[in-house]
């Protein structure tokens, strides 16, 4: 018995012990939550879904809908009631959640995925309860809200830093860092919006979803590793990798979506000759045609003539600029402004775009393990959406901002 305890604490476990250390908490949790789900469904059939007011205010997401959210808060009522009667302050729960979450990151960095995953999940449950405890006792205050919010950032960061450290010598380091970026930006954009008077709470990957996918993926991953790769000294923990990549993609998508909605809500309204969707759609078609021609020329120059990818990108950008301008002027914006002034503006945008694309590709070629074509597409996409697309609408093809249009708007002297 003592030997088993020492082995568990030191992490020197046999394959069967690794399975059971991950599976035992899962069996208990599944028995409780699946049994609770059965009772919840029976209860809903006779009395309807018990509505949780806070859940209704917070809304739902595509990944976790209202039914699952109402069920979760219903099934944890016994634990919530015990904590409420214990008299523990809400801030104490926040601190305990933070300590468990940071401990989860330390455990993951050491390769203890089952321990780290369950610590992270329990930290998430406590984080859900602290605010409710404070509001039920009428103890909620800005200081407690600030403490809870900051500790949440530490918990998420510690979890992802632990994963990044474990995967530091593999490709999984990149999605770990991207998930760290996305999980930080999602709440930041929301807080920035609230500070500017705009509510941006939308998005599929919010904190509950991050806790669920990361926690379950890491907690159960040792089971698969022990079954299929029992001799690996540094297993990949593929279930955790899947959850991490999914969170990486969806958290950044959520952050970008919130950021876009925030900017749109704050930007001054203006009349367009056609709908914004039509403009973006036609612009995307023009961009796709131009990019295809651009990439074909880059492949020709690199593969057949041996030109460096960065220089080939400059030449390809010239061809793409000509195709893009022609399609956008005639079909997308139906512009009637003077061609000379418009071409001068487009030369500024396309010239800087070529430099940005070439510089980005040159940076990617510093990493020979990455195919230059992959770097080219990544750089091309980022530069297009961050630089070309907004400037084409607001600068190049904005006929209302041309010098002639501005002069016409000036009051004439009597």
Q: Which of 52, 152, 156, 294 is catalytic?
A: 152
Judge residue 32's burial from the number of C-beta atoms within 10 Å of its C-beta, 0-12 exposed, 13-18 middle, 19 or more buried. Answer: middle
Q: Are 158 and 116 in contact (CB under 8 A)?
A: no
Concerning whether 202 is annotated as a catalytic residue, the answer is no
CA distances, 369 to each of 96, 142, 153, 170 (Å): 43, 49, 33, 12
- State the Cα–Cα distance between residues 336 and 342, nearest whole angstrom: 10
Closest CA to 101 of 79, 83, 117, 90: 117
Q: Which two tokens stand for residue 297?
A: 């020329």
- Among 396, 19, 7, 33, which Cα is nearest to 212's? 33
Per residue, what are the HEC states of the chain? CHHHHHHHHHCCCCHHHHHHHHHHHHHHHHHHHHHHHHHHHHHHHHHCCCCCHHHHHHCCCCCCCHHHHHHHHHHCHHHHHHHHHHCCCHHHHHHHHHHHHHHHHHHHHCCCHHHHHHHHHHHHHHHHHHHHHHHHCCCCCHHHHHHHHHHHHHHHHHHHHHHHHHCCCCCCHHHHHHHHHHHHHHHHHHHHHHHCCCCCCCCCCCHHHHHHHHHHHHHHHHHHHHHHCCCCCCCCCHHHHHHHHHHHHHHHHHHHHHHHHHHHHHCCCCCCCCCHHHHHHHHHHHHHHHHHHHHHHHHHHHHHCCCCHHHHHHHHHHHHHHHHHHHHHHHHCCCCCCHHHHHHHHHHHHHHHHHHHHHHHHHHCCCCCCCHHHHHHHHHHHHHHHHHHHHHHHHHCCHHHCHHHHHHHCCCCC
Q: Inter-axis angle of helices 339-364 and 372-383, to 10 degrees?
A: 140
Active site positions, annotated:
152
């Amino acid at each position: 018995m003592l030997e088993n305890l020492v082995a568990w604490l030191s992490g020197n476990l046999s394959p069967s012990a690794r399975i059971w250390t991950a599976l035992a908490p899962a069996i208990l949790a599944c028995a409780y939550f699946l049994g609770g789900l059965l009772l919840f469904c029976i209860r809903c059939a006779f009395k309807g879904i018990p509505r949780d007011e806070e859940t209704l205010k917070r809304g739902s997401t595509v990944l976790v809908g209202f039914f699952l959210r109402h069920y979760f808060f219903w099934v944890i009522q016994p634990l919530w009631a015990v904590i409420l009667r214990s008299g523990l302050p809400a801030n104490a729960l926040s601190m305990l959640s933070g300590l468990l979450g940071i401990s989860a990151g330390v455990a993951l960095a050491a390769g203890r995925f089952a321990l780290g995953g369950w610590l992270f999940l329990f930290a998430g449950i406590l984080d859900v309860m602290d605010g409710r405890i404070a509001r039920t006792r009428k103890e909620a205050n800005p200081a407690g809200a600030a403490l809870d919010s900051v500790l949440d950032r530490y918990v998420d960061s510690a979890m992802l830093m632990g994963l990044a450290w474990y995967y530091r010598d593999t490709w999984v380091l990149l999605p770990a860092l991207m998930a760290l970026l996305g999980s930080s930006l999602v709440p930041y954009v929301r807080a920035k919006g609230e500070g500017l008077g705009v509510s941006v709470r939308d998005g599929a990957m919010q904190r509950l979803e991050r806790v669920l996918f990361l926690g379950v993926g890491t907690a159960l991953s040792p089971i698969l590793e022990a079954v299929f790769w029992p001799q690996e000294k540094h297993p990949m923990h593929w279930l955790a990798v899947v959850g991490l990549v999914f969170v990486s993609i969806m958290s950044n998508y959520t952050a970008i979506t919130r950021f876009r909605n925030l900017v749109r809500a704050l930007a001054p309204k203006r009349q367009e000759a056609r709908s914004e969707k039509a403009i973006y759609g036609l612009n995307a078609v023009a961009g796709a045609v131009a990019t295809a021609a651009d990439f074909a020329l880059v492949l020709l120059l690199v593969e057949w003539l041996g030109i460096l990818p960065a220089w080939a990108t400059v030449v390809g950008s010239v061809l793409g600029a000509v195709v893009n301008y022609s399609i956008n002027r005639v079909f997308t914006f139906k512009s009637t402004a003077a061609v000379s002034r418009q071409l001068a503006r487009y030369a500024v945008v396309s010239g800087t775009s070529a430099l940005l694309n070439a510089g980005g590709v040159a940076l990617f070629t510093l990493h020979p393990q990455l195919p230059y074509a992959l770097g080219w597409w990544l750089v091309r996409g980022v530069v297009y959406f961050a630089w070309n697309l907004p400037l084409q609408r607001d600068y190049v093809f904005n006929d209302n901002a041309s010098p002639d249009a501005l002069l016409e708007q000036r009051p004439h002297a009597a």
